[in-house]
Chain A
Amino acid sequence: MMYRVVKIEKIKEETPTIKTFFFKDDSKPKPGQFYMIWLPGVDEFPMSISHIGNKKAFTVKRIGKGTTAMHKLKEGDKLWIRGPYGRGFKIENGYALIIGGGSGMATLGPLIERVEGDIIIAARTKDELLFLDRFKDRNVYIATDDGSAGFKGFATDLAKDMMEKRDYSIIYTCGPEIMMRKIIDMAIERGIKVQASLERLMKCGIGICDSCSINGYRVCVDGPVFSEKELVKMEDLGKYKRDSSGRRVPI
């Protein structure tokens, strides 16, 4: 599809490196789907939707050229978008464990609003915990690498404790790939269903260029959300990625 222009209606500072940009758009995304955002003259990049429904939003961490430029935009400025793209989360019955690392929480936001379960919000440090107030009425567990809030240590260690205490029907996760790899392995070991939203270097967003492929799966079209049947076949997950030239390099 071609670009359409949307106006930024509100900007919310979530953390020192993450902002949420609210806009109106008629598309009907599912939790876990993404859009391509074009900032004319700057860059085009994929971004998952963090609020769906009438008021939509992208929650964006400042990382590269495009996201840095986006952070400089003001309310009233425009975004060029195409999408929604990809396959989102498939909502499963039963009580869930949802694990979001860093800006991975942005992708999980709309899903969390539609499922019952325990939520782990994890980040390097307290200031980077995302959506604490959005989900303040939910069963939220916190993990920080530096121990500045909640459990001191990795989300994976907290998740392991929680999996030992309770039988979850399904695990949903989004975050750093190495974290997700461990979560997926733990889930598969315990026979728990798991869905993970993957992030790979993406160029076209429509399933033709092969940039974001991992072990034959296209993140942009076959994913970005994959379930255990596919994840178990992804030998490169958490180990190898492909750079802009398509070279397979260790993570």
Chain B
Amino acid sequence: MLNVEIGKLHFKNPLILASGILDEAGETMLRIAKSGAGGIVTKSIGKEPREGYENPVVYELPCGLLNAMGLPNPGIENYEDEIKIAKKGGVPIIGSIFGSNPEEFSYLAKKMEDYGADAVELNLSCPHAKGYGMEVGTDLELVEEIVDSVKREIKIPVWAKLTPNTSNIVEIAKAVENADALVLINTLKAMAIDIDAKRPVLKNVFGGLSGKAIKPIGIRAVYEVYREVGKPIIGVGGIENGRDAIEYIMAGASAVEIGTAIYTRGIGIFKEIAKEMEGWMRKNGYSKISQMVGIAQVR
């Protein structure tokens, strides 16, 4: 009932682990796969090992989570084993990569393909890393070049993860139309100040807001892009239950990614949400996810 196709990739359910959450070590990803995730996106991997920012890197807010991890990762050359272990879970593994130019992205993408990744997700959207992510992902010419260059380099599907920290996400989506799928959205640039300490909480000052608070923004982004771009969309941002997932699908997403809600509901969340979706679909007469994609669009 829940199986979906994103391009040539098959997923047993549309609930994919979002990049950055419990997806650095192969064995953790394997555990998530065994816990019912339909697919897994790895932590964003760059060319060199990177320690990330100093603590505090995460802060719990009543409306979600604020983080500035700073793209910590073991570096692509040390990542082969992690992918190989994760692959034992039997679900598609999507290698997330970040770079600052088309050459870096292409190099990383090729490595991911060689390691056995089923697709790559281009991180064009991290809001708190200088020279990477959103800084790259809001330059229309550059993102187009990156996507084209990666597409030429590899055979596996290329997903582009876009930032909501822009006045016009549709413009960016159109620039990366060559990608096989679009992933919307990454976190929103945000910060928190502790008034007793009289200073920002995150060591990096700025971070990305995820969780409940950003769901309406994600829904809007998916809705807007679905109307204008003819590529599959993977919705991300604040999905905590089956109804949230279906809301993204009705906005136009073919699948969704889940991250922050693991913090509120635990690793069992994938199975639970799958059950919640099935229950709702049965009650409302749907037998396939594809019957619901984009049906809330007002034409």
List chain A positions with a Cβ less than 8 A from chain B.
1-3, 5, 36, 38, 40-41, 43-45, 66, 78, 80, 82, 203-211, 213, 215-216, 218, 242-248
Question: Would B56 and A244 count as touching, CB distance under 8 A?
Answer: no
Min distance, Cβ B35 to any Cβ of chain A, angstroms: 10
Q: Which of A36, A40, A204, A247 contacts B74 (CB 8 A)?
A: A247
Q: How many angstroms between the C-alpha atoms of A54 and B231 in the bound complex?
A: 59
Min distance, Cβ A233 to any Cβ of chain B, angstroms: 10
Closest 4 A/B residue pairs (Cβ): A40-B197, A244-B51, A44-B55, A216-B27
Given A208-B22, A213-B28, A203:B55 Cβ within 8 A:
yes
Given A210-B24, A210-B28, A246-B74, A204:B194 Cβ within 8 A:
no
Given A80-B194, A246-B43, A247-B74, A208:B24 Cβ within 8 A:
no
Closest to B32 in A: A216
Question: Would B260 and A208 count as touching, CB distance under 8 A?
Answer: yes
Question: Would A203 and B57 count as touching, CB distance under 8 A?
Answer: yes
Q: How many angstroms between the C-alpha atoms of A43 and B69 in the bound complex?
A: 14
Question: Would B263 and A208 count as touching, CB distance under 8 A?
Answer: yes
Question: Would A207 and B263 count as touching, CB distance under 8 A?
Answer: yes
Q: How many angstroms between the C-alpha atoms of A211 and B31 in the bound complex?
A: 15
Q: How many angstroms between the C-alpha atoms of A1 and B60 in the bound complex?
A: 5
Min distance, Cβ A70 to any Cβ of chain B, angstroms: 14
What does DSSP make chain B's interface, helix, strand, loop or mixed?
A: loop
Q: Which of B28, B78, B197 contacts A80 (CB 8 A)?
A: B197
Chain A residues contacting B279 (CB-CB under 8 Å) are: none
Question: Would B49 and A247 count as touching, CB distance under 8 A?
Answer: yes
Question: Would A82 and B60 count as touching, CB distance under 8 A?
Answer: yes
Chain A residues contacting B69 (CB-CB under 8 Å) are: 203, 209
Given A203-B69, A247-B74, A216:B61 Cβ within 8 A:
no
Chain A residues contacting B61 (CB-CB under 8 Å) are: 2
Min distance, Cβ B200 to any Cβ of chain A, angstroms: 9
Min distance, Cβ B226 to any Cβ of chain A, angstroms: 29
Min distance, Cβ A91 to any Cβ of chain B, angstroms: 24
B288 within 8 A of partner (CB): no
Min distance, Cβ B62 to any Cβ of chain A, angstroms: 8
10 A-B contact pairs sorted by A residue (CB < 8 Å) = A38-B56, A40-B194, A203-B58, A206-B58, A207-B262, A208-B21, A208-B259, A210-B22, A213-B28, A242-B25
User: How would residues 36 to 63 of chain B score, 1 for a CB under 8 Å from any chain A CB and 0 otherwise?
Assistant: 0000000100000111101111111110
Question: Would A247 and B75 count as touching, CB distance under 8 A?
Answer: yes
Which residues 65-102 in B have Cβ within 8 Å of A in the complex? 65, 67, 69, 72-75, 78, 81
Q: How many angstroms between the C-alpha atoms of A1 and B57 in the bound complex?
A: 14
What does DSSP make chain A's interface, helix, strand, loop or mixed?
A: loop
Question: Would B21 and A246 count as touching, CB distance under 8 A?
Answer: no
Min distance, Cβ A89 to any Cβ of chain B, angstroms: 21
Given A3-B194, A211-B72, A40:B199 Cβ within 8 A:
yes
Q: Which of B20, B55, B61 has the most CB of A within 10 A?
A: B55
Question: Would A244 and B72 count as touching, CB distance under 8 A?
Answer: yes
Chain A residues contacting B78 (CB-CB under 8 Å) are: 247-248
Chain B residues contacting A45 (CB-CB under 8 Å) are: 55
Question: Would B49 and A245 count as touching, CB distance under 8 A?
Answer: yes
Which residues 174-222 in B have Cβ within 8 Å of A in the complex? 194, 196-197, 199, 201, 203
Min distance, Cβ A34 to any Cβ of chain B, angstroms: 14
Apart from the given pairs A66-B55, A206-B58, 4 other A-B contacts in the complex at a CB distance below 8 Å: A44-B56, A208-B259, A245-B51, A246-B25
Q: How many angstroms between the C-alpha atoms of A153 and B174 in the bound complex?
A: 68
B30 within 8 A of partner (CB): yes
Q: How many angstroms between the C-alpha atoms of A41 and B56 in the bound complex?
A: 10
Min distance, Cβ B289 to any Cβ of chain A, angstroms: 26
Q: How many angstroms between the C-alpha atoms of A248 and B77 in the bound complex?
A: 12
Closest to B75 in A: A245
Min distance, Cβ B248 to any Cβ of chain A, angstroms: 20
